[in-house]
Structure 1
Amino acid sequence: MSTHISNRTRVLTLIGTIITQFALGSVYTWSLFNAQLADKLSEPVSRVAFSFGILSLALAVASSMAGKMQERFGVRKVTIGAGVLLGASLLLTAHATNLILLYVFAGFLIGFADGTGYLMTLSNCVKWFPERKGLISACAIGAYGLGSLGFKFINMYFLQHGGLETTFDIWGVVAMIMVILGGSLMTDAPKQEISAEQAAEGARDYSLAESMKHPQYWMLALIFLTLCMSGLYVIGVAKDIGQSYVHLTAGVAASAVTIIAVANISGRLVLGILSDKIARTKVIAIALTICLVGVCALLFAHLNMMVFYAAVACIAFSFGGTLTVFPSLVSDFFGLNNLTKNYGVIYLGFGVGSLIGSIVASIFGGFIATFYLMFALLIVSLVIALTIQLPNGESDAQLVVNH
């Protein structure tokens, strides 16, 4: 009877997580609104677009804090709270009358709501399925990616037929209902017990303080930062790279956005499922190699439309796969029970990475400087991925065999 209840509970949690992640992924339609918000506020598009940089940083910071909130209130209450805040923030954004209010509502509040729900619900769902961590991550994070695609059509329709304020209002209500519904289906995962066999092999759960004392923790953080910076920078400026660097027409360059979305989701599914079959450090090494091929193409190849499309597809594929594989990879190294906290600090690399690429480009005057930084960091990260060992001295490949 208890097994039946447990199976039902974890399936409901998975369904709730997928619904929630789909709604949370809707924030990645943000670029649709920049031009209209700039007109409304009489501000340059670049200043309006900065709100998404703030959103990304707030999302990463909230993700690192969500573990403490879950411990105190439980996954259901925190997710429902995140849904209410997300809906309220989108409704407030609809009526922002100046740039400061936009940065507060669209940047800090939407980012905080999204980040609170994103990592916590993902980690909780993975804990329910310790035997299928890669597949479950692929389902949850795939839903997050599909959310940006699904809401793109919803938001574009209402922008054309209802205007800016109406679109934000409808988006806010729909996203809030979905997150509240998803949260109400979730249950906190039970504490994972380490078997005698695993204990004999040196497996254990590390607290955040213990994890941070190991060099492996910071090695993983560097790899994550590198792949996030590469992915977020290229995704953010793909159209501009296509036009000013590859000299494509605006329409041809804009097609890169669709290619990036497909490659991103493909990376999440392919590398997520592969990570249940081979060592996850090898999967990350594959992601780093594919990303490196893309960056090398942008730096050293004779660029035309097809080379440009292939290069951005490589980088987006690797970025999507990394976001899927990393929660399970961190749990392999430091245990499942403290995953939300341990991965939460590493996830700050998502927010920091989104800023570093843009800062380097603005200081050194263009894309090339950021591409060279990506190139150097990818080589260092690839060496780490191929040589890193678990804190107990085992290789990741041994962990897969033992499992």
Structure 2
Amino acid sequence: MCGRPVRAPRARLGLAFGLLLAAPATAHAGNGLLPRTPVLHQDEHCLTVVDRSAQPVVHLRYTIPYSDVCLSADEPADSRSHQLLAFCHGDPAARPVPRWHTRGELERDIAAGFGPPDPVFAEDVLEDSPDYAGCWHLITAPGEHRPITCAAARPGVDWDTRDLPVGTYLVRGYTYEPPGSAWWPRHGLFKIVDDASDPAASPPALAIANRDTFLWKGQVMRVRLCVDAMPGTTVTLAHGRNIAEPAWSPFIVDMPVVSGTVDLDFLPPAELAGEFLTLRAEIVDPQDRRFIAFMQGEISVQVSGAPAGGEAPVGVDDEPPPTSYDFCVDDPAADAEVECPAPASTTSPDTSDDPAAGEPGCGCRGPAPLPLLAPLLVLLRRRPRLRPGQAP
């Protein structure tokens, strides 16, 4: 099987794997097992306050890990494309986000064999989901599907915030490529206000700066909060297993906080050694206005204690993190024309036992095809890497 080169994206592909399992048996898309090409956000910060009285347009930069423009014969014409959306709230890291924006998009994909069979639940469509009613907003233009090329990604996107309600927003990138379209959250949040000089004029906001975190048993995690709120505001922190619907256990309750950076300590209970956890923070101001933020990552708690010299608390090393490799900037061939293989319909007779049979067009880059199971493996939820010297 031919596959795209697999780099380590900063967001999970577990949702995409679930989508493939949910696809009807009649959908045999040539792209079905390939990893979806992520939106790699740039210039991420824990919390950014946008004062619309001064500058209502936010420039969002992103890049891609490789060009992805070659469609299989049965893909929609606008497949393998990117969009950006803003959401009025986040979610626990493992909770799936609805796969389609509108009911019309879903019905089109079902008709083409790229959607689940009826009935389709409201949770599958943003415009139908009670959790997202009035909460999601297109940043890219309506109907705009940005090609997955550096020519499209390099200029970035201008986000006009003037029509949004005042509040705090999470930005997500979206890869449209049925049957396994995928989401890529941007680290950090944006607080949209009309007058940044008056904290009482807008509800409180906070974000959790920590990303995926490795802890030894009995090691403290230093949780960094980024806060923008009026005096007299408090925060409550809770932990839970990194699953779609965690049961939250508070460990800091009604702690007074002020605007700026706030560091608080979290010591996972001993009985949670070996678990994967995540965090939830709720901020409440004196006017009883509230906002809930979630850690955009997980905490891996080991079953063994720290080696000698490794007991220090683990916190945020860099905010924002150092600049990483950018394909669209650092690769001199980033804008080279991609030669697409001749597409072959996957509805033709089964030739899987014929080693001489041709492969379906799959938009490959790079000379080395991946083994059959490689795309499935990268779709599974990633765990934090072991540190040097750590036993597996």
User: Which structure features the higher share of helix residues?
Assistant: 1
User: Which structure features the higher share of strand residues?
Assistant: 2
Give the TM-score taking structure 1 as reference length: 0.29
Give the TM-score taking structure 2 as reference length: 0.29
